């Protein structure tokens, strides 16, 4: 039986597109020049090393639009990187909040322009560090957060009104956002002035990653309650980062990553509308998170296709009127699954290619993995090289000087069309199966990802897919240097948690937990109920235990 991912593009290719009525010169005069005026520091002439002056855009509109015009195939902003480079992030989370804070400050000193936080598994699922299930996992894959006290340590000497913070957190996103809001208030920063993103994408956890706690229905409520809370109190915060990254890391193809991610996005939009939000009230704050793999041109085409698919979905299916609601803005991370523990220096080249694809594809934000992340947490030296990779791309390569530089190339345009067509075929199959939630609950999405992952692994083992240093050009190697967290950090985390429990006002905590339970039984906003709870140092685990008593836990069906 033919997989929906392998169908012919001719059946699903979009039709009815037309060339834009305006010429490129008209676009430059009417859109580009007024937009560039907002960036006086970027008015310099751009030229090659031979002195060839570069226009900001080449070619006419593709698929009916110039940059910042529907359906945004060529980019969501008229100036793109000529006005402002992408946000350069490095993902950091170590065995304690204090240690992570030291790395944050180092990265900011080295020129990073945004923070990206990794949390340990107990934090992601909602267990305090002293829970029996959490003890073996404290701080192994990220920073442990038990209470507001840990967030205070995490951002010590970092003014929240001046940085943009991304938090890779899903099942417990509402609690972590509540803590961030509480800390901002203590710093004297109004929640309306905080900037950043909380991932808050629970559907991909059920489909590809497994870090869930509550059943699907209550989890979707937590997602939409966070959206509603931010609309009211933190309008500059991106309320969800709909993530294809982990779908791709689990083994999907580029077309599957595109389809399953946009399918989940559609589910969140429907859930928010069903919760009483107007589409144009929340859609401008939606963002996406994609993977960048090794096939340079396929990845560029994937990003271009994603923008126009989302634009059409939002305008034609959901009736969004605000152009900001049509724009797909996305963060990219280079592919962790493509890093190899063999010959780890080769990963510098892989990461550079992947980062180049993200920039050529028009990303708004980028994280570059370090060369040693297949072995453990990155050393400071390798984290610095990863950041310098982005800085060299932005400052020395010239790839940021022209908007959508590959747009119009027959190869790239054909790949863009083909990826869109295959993704549309998968979206149609998901609809036939009852929608994205039903497709996940039945195991369809998981099976499709699993099949693709197995196909990849078989190709590597047969050497029909060469991986340098793994199945070709191999050599004997000395044991690599691996970063090891300070083993004393675990005891420090547990001591800090015990101190919080001892020093806080127990009566206030009990009252806050009762109020949260009451909110869970009614239609009250759960994030609004979490803020006063975290302000009195109620722990993450205590909050999630209350929600579990009210909602239950999710038990995955056998997808295979």
Strands across the sheet containing 286-292: 237-238, 195-198, 164-167, 114-117, 87-92, 365-367, 330-334, 286-292, 240-243
DSSP E strand boundaries for 85-239: 87-92, 114-117, 164-167, 195-198, 237-238
What is the per-residue pLDDT for 63? 67
Cβ atoms of residues 540 and 128 within 8 Å:
yes
Percent over 90 (pLDDT), the chain: 78
**pLDDT of res. 192:** 96
pLDDT at residue number 483: 65
Question: Among 248, 206, 262, which Cα is nearest to 446's?
Answer: 206
What lies within 8 Å, CB to CB, of 220 at 6+ separation is 202, 267, 268, 271, 437
Q: Where are the alpha helices (DSSP H) in 442-485?
A: 444-462
DSSP 193: G
What token pair was written down for 254? 């580029």
Q: Which residues pair with 114 in a beta bridge?
A: 89
Q: 460-497: per-residue pLDDT in tens?
A: 999 999 999 999 999 988 877 776 667 788 899 999 99
CA–centroid distance for 291 within its chain: 9
List, in sequence order, every residue forming a beta bridge with 165; answer none if it has no partner: 115, 196
- Spatial distance between the Cα atoms of 162 and 318, rounded to a whole number of angstroms: 35
Q: What is the DSSP letter of 480?
A: P
Domains annotated for the chain, with CATH where assigned, are 21-75 (no CATH), 86-462 (3.20.20.240)
Here the tokens at position 483 are 């970063």
Hey, is 116 helix, strand or coil? strand
- Quick check: 12 and 425 in contact, CB under 8 A? yes
Q: Please give the Cα distance from 191 to 478 (Å, whole number).
A: 51
Q: What is the mean pLDDT of each run of 10 residues along the chain (560 residues)?
A: 40 41 86 90 84 92 83 95 88 82 86 84 97 92 95 95 92 98 97 94 93 94 96 93 96 98 96 94 93 98 98 97 96 95 95 98 95 84 92 96 94 97 98 94 93 97 96 88 75 96 98 98 97 98 98 74
Q: How far apart are CA 431 and CA 108, in angstroms?
A: 45
């Amino acid at each position: 039986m033919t997989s929906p991912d392998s169908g012919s593009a001719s059946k699903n290719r979009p039709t009815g597109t037309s060339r834009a009525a305006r010429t490129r010169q008209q676009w430059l005069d009417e859109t580009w020049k007024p937009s560039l005026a907002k960036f006086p520091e970027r008015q310099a002439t751009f030229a090659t090393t031979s002195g060839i002056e570069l226009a900001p855009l080449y070619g006419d509109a593709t698929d009916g639009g110039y940059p910042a015009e529907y359906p945004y195939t060529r980019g969501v902003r008229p100036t793109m990187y000529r006005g402002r480079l992408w946000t350069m992030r490095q993902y950091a989370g170590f065995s304690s909040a204090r240690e992570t804070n030291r790395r944050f400050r180092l990265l900011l000193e080295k020129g990073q322009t945004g923070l990206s936080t990794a949390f340990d598994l107990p934090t992601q699922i909602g267990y305090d560090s002293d829970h029996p299930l959490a003890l073996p996992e404290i701080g192994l894959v990220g920073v442990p957060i038990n209470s507001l006290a840990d967030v205070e340590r995490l951002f010590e000497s970092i003014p929240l009104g001046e940085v943009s913070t991304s938090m890779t957190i899903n099942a417990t996103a509402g609690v972590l956002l509540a803590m961030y809001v509480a800390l901002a208030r203590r710093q004297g920063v109004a929640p309306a002035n905080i900037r950043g993103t909380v991932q808050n994408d629970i559907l991909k956890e059920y489909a590809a990653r497994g870090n869930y706690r509550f059943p699907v229905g209550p989890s979707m409520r937590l997602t939409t309650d966070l959206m509603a809370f931010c609309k009211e109190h933190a309008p500059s915060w991106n309320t969800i980062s709909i993530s294809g990254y982990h779908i791709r890391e689990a083994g999907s193809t580029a077309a599957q990553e595109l389809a399953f991610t946009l399918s989940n996005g559609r589910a969140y939009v429907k859930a928010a509308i069903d919760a009483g939000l107007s589409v144009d009230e929340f859609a401008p704050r939606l963002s996406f998170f994609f993977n960048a793999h090794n096939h340079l041109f396929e990845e560029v085409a994937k990003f271009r296709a994603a923008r126009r698919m989302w634009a059409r979905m939002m305008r034609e299916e959901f009736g969004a009127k605000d152009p900001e609601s049509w724009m797909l803005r996305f963060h990219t991370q280079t592919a962790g699954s493509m890093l190899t523990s063999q010959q780890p220096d080769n990963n510098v080249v892989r990461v550079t290619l992947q980062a180049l694809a993200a920039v050529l594809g028009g990303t708004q934000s980028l994280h570059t993995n370090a060369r040693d992340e297949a072995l453990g947490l990155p050393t400071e030296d390798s984290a610095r090289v990863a950041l310098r990779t982005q800085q060299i791309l932005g400052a020395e390569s010239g790839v940021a000087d022209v908007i959508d530089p590959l747009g119009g190339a027959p190869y790239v345009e054909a790949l863009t069309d083909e990826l869109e067509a295959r993704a549309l075929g998968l979206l149609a199959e998901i609809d036939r199966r009852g929608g994205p939630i039903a497709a996940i609950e039945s195991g369809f999405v998981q099976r499709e990802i699993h099949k693709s992952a197995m196909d990849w692994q078989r190709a590597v083992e047969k050497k029909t897919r060469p991986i340098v240093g793994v199945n070709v050009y191999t050599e004997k190697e000395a044991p690599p240097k691996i970063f090891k967290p300070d083993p004393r950090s675990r005891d420090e985390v547990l001591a800090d948690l015990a101190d919080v429990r001892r020093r806080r006002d127990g009566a206030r905590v009990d009252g806050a937990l009762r109020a949260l339970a009451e909110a869970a039984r009614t239609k009250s906003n759960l994030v609004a109920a979490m803020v006063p709870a975290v302000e009195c140092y109620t722990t993450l685990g205590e909050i999630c235990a209350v929600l579990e008593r009210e909602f239950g836990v999710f038990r995955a069906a056998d997808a295979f």
